[in-house]
Structure formats: C-alpha cells, structure tokens
Structure 1
C-alpha cells in the first residue's frame, strides 16, 4: 500500500489510530514494538501492522530491528508546526528594519480563512505623513493586490485554478485587471522575478511590492511594502531589493527555528 492508497482508504477511525500511534511514539524515545502498540491501543496486531506499514512507507515512522520510532518526515512536520506558531512574532525585527530602511509601511500577510482574501497579520508603520494606511486584521482581495498575487503565485495550481474560476473580479480602480488571462500573466511574472508589483490595482496613488515567505512546509505568507506611487518611482529598485531581502531573511529565520526544534 503506497501513501496515496493509504490516504484513499483511510476512515475517521483509522485516522484516529494513526494519530494515536504518532503520539505514543513521540512519548517514548526508545520506540515501540508492534506488540506493545497493539496492547496499548487495544487493537489486533494485524490492524496495527497495516497502519505501521503505511506510516513507514510515507516516512513518518522508521522500523529498525522490530522497533518503531518516529521518522524524519514526522520531525519535519513537527518543526514546521512549531515555526508556524512562532510566526509572525519571529519576523517582527526584520519587518521593523524594512520599515526603517525604506521609510515606508511594511506588512506581513497570509491567506484569510475562506481562501478568497488575504489578511494583514503584522505591521511596521512608516513615520512619513503621507503613507500606506492599513491595519492588522484588514483583508484585501487576492487578484488586485501585490500581497494577494504573491500568495496566489506560490499556492498549489489546483487551488489557484479553482479561485480564478469561481471569483468575480471587480474594478476597484480604473487600473484593476479583471480578465483571467491578465491575472494569470501577472502570476507567471511573479514566479519568474520572485516578487509581485502592483500600481493602483486596488488603491489610486499606491504601489505595492510583495515577496513570498517560505517555511519548511512551503509558503507561509508574504512581506508587503506599501508606497505612495510618486515615492516608489524615485527609488523603485532599492525598494524592491529591500522587500525581497526581508522576505528571504524571514524565511531563513523560520528555517532556523525549525532546525533548532528538530535537534
């Protein structure tokens, strides 16, 4: 049975058993034999053996000399969860540095529940009188913003295709792109250059730059820099470079947290 087959045939009861096995192995550094797992679960050995085979083939469990222990994939999952819980707090020093270096408002965004918008989850504000005005908790559409485009560009293709198929694209400004083909072109450009850039896509007079943040489990969120367009035009390359560097630095921090938790 391969991992796909194991997932296909899983039932709520077998899923509970799989989680119970992982919890037992996490509690015992020496590992457990099949007989010990069967006894503790009150489940026949034959049933437990099928579950162990699936977990072993998927890399969540190692089986050496009759003893089962947590495998590398289980530790990577645990590390990703720990790093995710430390996000965005661990990123705040880098976000503040970005805001200070550029004198612009810097934000961190992630997908909002529902999958149609993103939400700002952290902010370091510009001290300039004319600045990007946004608040932690604000939601924005994916298709018309730099933050949304950078998330869409790195999300699974199946999700993106579904989003593009079911979403009604409204003109938020005269410059908002509302044709699916145009949005797909923008997403491809984001993947090629590594950042998203929009001018007046959702707000007149505003340019947004966004770069992706990755953790050990893949895309985590994005760094967004909001700039009045006149100021952006004066320092465009520097602002893009600083935003991308901040996103890379945050991704590195999240990776370091995961590695520390894995040791």
Structure 2
C-alpha cells in the first residue's frame, strides 16, 4: 500500500478559472510542476512532468528553469530533475503558523507515552487527509508516514472522523468524486455502506478502522472540533491488529484520544 499520489491535471484547473482576469496561469503551472514529484517519483524528466500535469513541455521547461534558479529543483544530468531541500520552506511556512501543529506535538507525545502506541494529527485536504503532526513509538505500516504524507480520507480513521462532521451537501460532493479503492478484503467500497458507516461515526463521535487500509493495522480517531462546529482536524492512534483488540482500542485508547482532542479544541474556540 502506497501513499496517495494522483496525477495533477492542468486542464480541469484551467477550465475552472477560464476568463478570470486575476488568475495567474504561470503560478498555477509552477505549483503543478512541484506537485508532480512524490516519494515514488523523486526524479522526473520534462516529458514525464508534462504527461502528469498536462502542461506543454515548453512551459514545463520554463517552470523548471525558474524553480532551478530559485533553488527549489536541481538536475545532475540536465534531463532529470529532483526537488531540493529548499522546497520544505513552502510547507514550513504553513506548519509553523498552524496552532495545531505547534501545540499538537506535545499532546501527541503525551498520548503516545500514555498508550505506548504511535499517534497522529491530520487535516482534511480535498479528498485526502494530510498529516501535520506525528509521534512515533514503532513502525506499524509498510508505508512511510510523516508530516506531509497523504492518504485517502474515505478509508482512514481520521478521514472518516472528519468526513462525518461535514454538511450533507459537502459530503455528497466529496463522495461523488471519491475513488473507493479495495485496499484489503475488509475495505468498504460501496457508497451506501460508507454513508451508513459515516452516520455511525457521527453518532458515536469516533471512527474505528479495522484492517481496511492495510492488513494487520487497526486505528481509532476522534475529530478535533473548531469554533464553527466543524472538524478542523482529527487525532488518532494506530496499532497492530494482532497485538491490540478492538475492545482495547475502545476501553483503553479512546478515552485518551477524547481528552487530547478536547484539549486541542480549546486552541480553536
């Protein structure tokens, strides 16, 4: 199982903002070029980026030239490009200004030390969850998860915790475009079943994923509620299914998560 990484298409974005005099197509293209890179695609050629983004190769070359001059990308052979560490400054500007990121780390460390399991905070970003804070005790997944990692919201505990708090119309729009992928035999892939599960999550106030994303992994999450009543983020704990039962998640770990979520919600009131 790999982190979610969908191709970025320029056409849909261009159609959405067609005719908008304030829309900067050159900036949008530069950002699309940056997003073409991933953990699985660290080195990309101009033609590969063009294929992934839908941007003409001549425009991709100009974007790469500019990004290279600014220190955001580099190339050793003149044909294949890679992101440089300076690109982290773009993400750090956001993470450094987010209260949940600054205050979340010590809370996560307390959660992890209390239950002796890894814990995370994520926000909803489009159809995915985006990890903004992590506290590790051991590696429990085959995929590397760190700050900035993305996973599909529909089959993750933090994703479902946040989706369950969306207004009905907004949730319907997200589910209309979501890809319900069968990651394991346990994954919910039917929309009616998923909607019923999200209704249960909303009623009970937590989401429990039992080996739907990866065999051997269970996780439980609760939403972090903002001042507007929506889920600004979610906090979870992930465990090895062979070692921690569903009952243990509910009896031992859920109360700790609820206490942590309530503490973090005070920052957003």
Band of TM-score, shorter chain: 0.5 to 0.7
Cα distance in 2 for partners of 1:85, 1:202 equals 28
**Cα deviations by residue, 1:159-194 (Å, 9 ceiling, x for unpaired):** 110111222311011110100011011101111111
Residue 249 of structure 1, CA deviation:
1.6
CA shift at 1:231, angstroms? 2.6
Give the aligned partner of residue 150 of structure 1: 161
Q: Which structure's CA Rg is the greater one?
A: 1
Rounded to whole Å, the distance in 2 between the matches of 1:101 and 1:145 is 22
The question of 1:177 aligning with 2:188 is answered yes
| Partner-residue secondary structure (3-state), 1:123 | strand
Distance verdict in 2 for CA 1:244–1:232, change over 3 Å? farther
1:80-229 equivalent positions in 2, closer than 5 A? 85-112=98-125, 115-126=126-137, 128=138, 131-132=140-141, 134-217=145-228, 218-229=230-241
Deviating beyond 4 angstroms after TM superposition, the runs of 4 or more aligned structure 1 residues are none
User: Alpha carbon RMSD of aligned pairs, Å?
Assistant: 1.9
How far 1:235 moved relative to its partner? 2.5
Deviation of 1:134 (Å): 2.0
Return 5+ residue gaps in structure 2 as ranges: 1-19, 21-96
TM-score (norm 2): 0.59
The 1-side partners of 2:216 and 2:130 are apart by: 21
Which residue, out of 228, 236, 244, partners 1:232?
Answer: 244
Deviations 1:56-95 (A, max 9, x none): xxxxxxxxxxxxxxxxxxxxxxxxxxxx832221222211
**Do the aligned residues in 2 keep the contact of 1:91 with 1:253 (CA within 8 Å)?**
no
The Cα offsets for residues 189-219 of structure 1, whole Å up to 9 and x where unpaired, read as 1111110001111111000111000122332
